[in-house]
Amino acid sequence: MKEVFVLAEHRQGELRDVTFEMLAKGMELSQKTDTDLTVVLLGHNVEKFAKKLTDHAKRVLVIDDARLENFNAETYQKVLTHLISERKPTLTLVGHTAFGVDLAPSLATELDLPLATNCIDISFEGEKLVVVRQVYGGKVNVKASLRKSESYIVTLRPATFEAKGTKPQGGEVIKIAPPFSDDITYKRFIEYFQPPAGDVDITAADIIVAVGRGIKDVDNMSIVEKLAEAFGGVLACSRPIVDKGWLPNDRQVGTSGKTVKPKLYIAIGISGQFQHISGMKNSDLIIAINKDPKAPIFRSADYGVVEDLFEVVPTLSDRLLEGKR
């Protein structure tokens, strides 16, 4: 029986959400193509993960080795090259995460298999594998097909597929000996590093005023600071503001920053790339201010203001302060 592989992702003793998102999509694909869904689990002392994953797939291939304790593209690639060459899955799903982007392109190159990265949808049309990807910061979607192959590798965007509960699959755990005899030679994991936290915890705020690239200049930051103050809320931001050093990184909302769920989220001059959206989409009420009516942020907001932020924001601050007097 042919297989669809899902590479389990875990870090610091936790299976990551993207694993279950890929398993849900993988289940759908394996049912449609009459293949088995197989989880590939690499790690050290991961019996607990293996047991949990048996609920989600037909089998769990476990490769347990001290050298696989932490993610390392070198060791992971060695194991996966071996498994994919041996078992020839029709498809291998990997998360488009910090781990996946470090692994999938070199793995596909070594195996000479076509790869599509950062996909938001995937389906077989006959034997052809078709994917949907987002380009230009989420403003355009692309439907694309992969070169015909016995086996494909695809990275799926996190927080895009729903991790549905399924009836327990009662999968079989199969332990496989690590296929490498030599030691790790050129890439070594040292440790995790958590940058120190600042004095403001944006995840605890009821009202967040968030600012993005549209603010243009550090000198303009005062207008959003004033609005945050007028709301009695905290100021947060999207990635470009932290990259420029205008706010510290503990104010960043998104995949590489914080996930927030305030009662009110006001996005100012933020275009709404998925990395940002995934950090704020569960806010109770979202208002977006952006002069581009096609900005992706309006797809996630409850209310939209398509105007110049430099006019709207100061007026809104004044209106709020008037109300308080």
What lies within 8 Å, CB to CB, of 8 at 6+ separation is 15, 19, 39, 40, 41, 42, 49, 53
| Ranges within 282-301 binding another protein (CB under 8 A) | 285-288, 292-294, 296, 298-301
In one-letter notation, the amino acid at residue 159 is A
Q: Please count the other Cβ atoms lying within 10 Å of the Cβ belonging to residue 282.
A: 12
To another protein, the closest distance from the beta carbon of 170 in angstroms equals 31
Q: Which of residues 219-278 bind another protein (CB under 8 A)?
A: 231, 239-240, 242-245, 249-250, 252, 255-259, 263-264, 271
Q: Is 160 helix (H, G, I), strand (E, B) or coil?
A: coil
Determine the Cα angle at 55 with ends 54 and 61, to 5°: 20
Closest CA to 7 of 66, 79, 114: 79
Which pair of tokens denotes residue 76? 């992971």
| Under rule CB under 8 A, residue 181 binds another protein | no
Q: Is position 38 an interface residue for another protein (rule: CB under 8 A)?
A: no
**Closer CB to another protein, 63 or 316, in the complex:** 316
Which of 86, 127, 144, 166 binds another protein (CB under 8 A)? It is: 144
- Name the residue nearer to another protein (CB basis): 61 or 153: 153
Structure tokens at 193: 């590093």
Choices 33-41, 45-53, 175-183, 185-193 (CB under 8 A): range interacting with another protein: 185-193
Which span sits near another protein by CB under 8 A: 23-31, 41-49, 180-188, 218-226?
180-188
**x/- string (CB under 8 A) for another protein, residues 62-101?**
--------xxxxx---------------------xxxx-x
Interaction of residue 138 with another protein, rule CB under 8 A: yes
Which residues lie closer than 8 Å to 173 by C-beta, 6 or more apart? 50, 51, 54, 59, 60, 62
Q: Minimum distance from CB of 312 to another protein (Å)? A: 6
Name which of 61 and 230 has its Cβ closer to another protein. Answer: 230
131 binds another protein (CB under 8 A): yes
Instruction: For the chain, state the CA radius of gyration.
Output: 23
Q: Please give the angle made by the CA atoms of 21, 26 and 27, to the nearest 5 degrees.
A: 100
Residue 151 makes contact with another protein by CB under 8 A: no
The least distance separating another protein from the CB of residue 273, rounded to whole angstroms, comes to 9
3-state secondary structure of 151: coil
133 binds another protein (CB under 8 A): yes
Q: Considering beta carbons, is residue 30 or 72 the nearer one to another protein? A: 72
- Rounded to an integer, what is the distance from CA 224 to the centroid of its chain? 28
Q: Does 141 bind another protein (CB under 8 A)?
A: yes
User: What ranges in 9-46 are assigned the alpha helix state H?
Assistant: 17-32
Asked if 164 touches another protein (CB under 8 A), the answer is no
Residues in region 200-219 near another protein by CB under 8 A: 207, 213-214
The minimum distance between CB 92 and another protein, in angstroms, equals 14
Which listed residue (47, 174, 188, 218) binds another protein by CB under 8 A?
Answer: 188
User: Contacts from 193-200 at CB under 8 Å and sequence distance 24+?
Assistant: 195/249, 195/250, 197/250, 198/248, 198/250, 198/251, 200/234, 200/250, 200/251
Does residue number 302 form part of the binding site for another protein (CB under 8 A)? yes
